[in-house]
Amino acid sequence: MSDRIEFRFSGSGGQGLILAGIILADAAAIYENKNAVQTQSYGPEARGGSSKSEVIISDDPIEYPKATKVNYMVSLTQEAFNKYINDVKDDGIVIVDKELVTDFSKAKGKLYVLDMVKSAREELGKLLGLNIISLGVLVEISGIVSHDSIEKALMKRVPKGFEDYNKKALEIGFRLAKEVKKN
């Protein structure tokens, strides 16, 4: 089970984090022929409330489908950061947005604080696509799947007319991650 890698996208219902998890699992399972399982957890609300989407990727069959020792976590709200950080491994990586998560008193693992919201606002013109930016960051930092695989999986699930918008969001994520990796 040593090659089992656990990813967790966390934030608030409606941010598209479940979709981000599905795209990552699809890229790994279908385009890179690995074993992948995606699960989700959310409250009874249609929007709001803390939600998480988890992806386990492994070369071996995956039994327990949920994350318990998280290697990579994305948090897009302070509440989700506080609620879900406990399971992050000591050497795990936590990716947050600079504007959305500001209190790091509970921080664990290695922290990456990125300008995802600012970049979305400036380069996409709106915050729609923040989930895809964070997916780009996660893929670039973890190297779990290739850029090509994640783009293919993304394109399969993007509504017609939004292909370029989403591609751009993914590219922003790659770039932000590259910048932060240099530092």
Partner 1 sequence: MSKNIKLMQGNEAIAEGAVIAGCDFFAGYPITPSSEVSEFLSSRLPKMGKAFLQMEDEIAAMGAILGAALGGAKAITATSGPGMSLKQENIGYASMCEIPCVIVNVMRGGPSTGLPTLPAQGDVMQAKWGTHGDHAIIAITPSSVNESLYETIRAFNLAIKYRTPVVILTDEIIGHMREKVVIPDKSEVEVIDVKLPDVPPEKYNPYNYTSGKVTPLAPMGEGYRYHVTGLIHGETGFPSQKTDVIQNAQNWLIDKIYKNIKDIEKFEEFQTDDADILIVAYGSTSRSARQAISMARAAGIKVGMFRPITIWPFPEEQISNLSKKIKKVLVVEMNMGQVILEVQRAACGSKIYGLHIVNGEPITPDNIFAKIKEVSEN
Residues lying near partner 1 in the complex (CB under 8 A): 1, 22, 25-26, 29-30, 35-44, 62-66, 68
Cβ 112 to partner 1 shortest distance, Å: 26
Pick between residue 30 and residue 111 the one whose CB is nearest to partner 1. Answer: 30
Q: Quick one: how many helices (H) and strands (E) in the chain?
A: 6, 6
**CB of 28: closest distance to partner 1 in angstroms?**
9
CA distance 181 to 175: 10
Q: Identify which of residues 42 and 104 has a Cβ nearer to partner 1 in the complex.
A: 42
Contact in structure between 31 and 154 (CB atoms under 8 Å): no
Give the Cα separation of 41 and 28 in Å (integer). 21
As a whole number of angstroms, the distance between CA 150 and CA 28 comes to 8
At closest approach, how far in Å is the CB of 127 from partner 1? 25
Of the two residues 43 and 48, which places its CB atom closer to partner 1 in the complex?
43
Q: Is the dihedral of CA 157, 55, 9, 170 positive or negative?
A: negative
Nearer to partner 1, 148 or 179 (CB): 148
Name the minimum Å distance from CB 156 to partner 1. 10
